Structure 1
């Protein structure tokens, strides 16, 4: 395959999260490099976080490995064990099936970027650590449930757990 033209890569903004969580992802965008290349077995994205933005809700994957490397700026990685300030060149990885909820937030005054590479499992479950929600992916479709597996009908508790402001 020839060199990828990043200007032709699809850019995703917004979130597939239901309200009110979708609004919490304002200021996040991702360049979908894997989609540009036609990759099907793993995703490759460059995520940009504007000041104050979050990349996701804190989550962990049942079947998908994830790897991230900070490219620009100063980002805060929040995991079950606490927070770690991340700088360009710093990397983190999460093995599938290990319940360590994680996410990046940008608490700096300038945009930050990170590269994320992850498996694309045909069927996947991601569990959100701080809210009573899971996402189930099957057949290219997403379905949200509570942690107990019942259909999601809205937030039961909006109070975040385990994350300092």
Structure 2
């Protein structure tokens, strides 16, 4: 049956971000939907952001398209254009290769929930985090001078 039982899909807050960049995402709980469905070309996550949590560090992808649909609650989209409130039913898209660092911040006093889907060449993807000294590639995270962080990337 195509309807997913979210409770049957493991939820985690794992991150591969090195300290201190991992701290803002500690209140991000997510479920990876593709493994439960057998999908191999599209990745998707069901995400709950606790109050004060960020969806990620502000980033962009070279080879991955991203699409986000807000399900409940409210968050603030922070990108190169500034800040914008995102509410239930809002849809946001980030095409691959567009250098627009983005993430969501939950500045409210209640959880917000969204689904984010992505597609592209995961094995070759890379990108940047414009606000911090970090870039990513298929092998993990590095500083902008190329020295590697001692952590494993969790795509």
Q: TM-score, normalised by structure 1?
A: 0.84
Alpha carbons of structure 1 residues 153 and 122: separation in structure 2 relative to 1, 3 Å? closer
Q: Which runs of 5+ in 1 are unaligned?
A: 155-165
Counterpart mapping for 1:81-100 below 5 A = 81-100=81-100
Tell me how far 1:153 sits from its aligned partner: 4.8
1:108 alignment partner in structure 2: 108
**Aligned pairs, how many?**
149
1:160 alignment partner in structure 2: none
Tell me how far 1:14 sits from its aligned partner: 2.8
1:158 alignment partner in structure 2: none
Verify the 8 A CA contact 2:50 2:112 in the aligned structure 1: yes
Counterpart mapping for 1:4-15 below 5 A = 4-15=4-15
Aligned-residue Cα RMSD (Å) equals 1.5
Q: TM-score, normalised by structure 2?
A: 0.89
1:41 aligns with 2:37: no
1:147 aligns with 2:140: no
Q: In 2, distance between residues paired with 1:125 and 1:2?
A: 31
Alpha carbons of structure 1 residues 6 and 153: separation in structure 2 relative to 1, 3 Å? closer
Verify the 8 A CA contact 2:141 2:148 in the aligned structure 1: yes
Verify the 8 A CA contact 1:133 1:152 in the aligned structure 2: no
1:24 aligns with 2:20: no
